[in-house]
Amino acid sequence: MREKLISNLFFRVSNPLPAWSLGFYRIVFGILLFILAFRYFSNGWISKYFLDPSFHFKFYGLSWIAVFPAWILYSLFVSLLFLAVFISLGIFYRISVLCFFLIFSYINLLEVAVYLNHYYLVCLLLFLLIWIPADRALNIFHVFRIFKNKSILETDPVPAWNLYILRFQIGVVYFLVELVNWFQTGFLTRSRFESGFFVIRIFLFLVRYFPCQLLGIFSVMRV
């Protein structure tokens, strides 16, 4: 019985699925990352939060992380813009995701006072994307071949766990949010039902091929 259960579980997580949803997710996520990084320039947050203050609150045990000089810090944010474009287009995908993850994690560790849980979620999703071939479909080269051949080109499938692990990450976030609301109010908040967002989350979580991890993107965009 136990061996059969493990065998079925292994089959489900390794079952090949189309890579289109991951490709679409990568494109939208890359656009979001570009907007996220650009906001630091447009709102003057680089100077306001990191360069102008003479003192920074640090996370416990991470007081050794120092703020780089202005020219280095601005260079890092400029690199985030280019990396976001590379991620969205599927160019040097894994290297771009890894570099964005390291730089953005460093930025978020510089000042506790500007901590944002949505950015923490972005870091988690970036870390997961390092191990997932989300560039297998709808990268810029694949799109060029589609237009050249004037037909939809099939791509190699991806193991089901590539989708499930992102779904799990988003599911954990919203499950804990609703759990906290339940403990605070004694029931699931009415606003979530009235907005229809809660129902949409549940529905998309059950759809096999839909990239419900996009809900994580929508969550960040609401900030």
Please give the pLDDT value at position 188.
54
Please give the pLDDT value at position 222.
45
The segments of the chain whose pLDDT lies below 70 read 1, 4-11, 146, 148, 150-154, 185-223
pTM beyond cutoff 0.95: no
Please give the pLDDT value at position 191.
53
Q: How far apart are CA 127 and CA 115, in angstroms?
A: 18
Note whether 28 and 217 are within 8 A (CB): yes
Residue 150 falls in which region: left (phi positive, over 0), alpha (psi -120 to 50) or beta? left
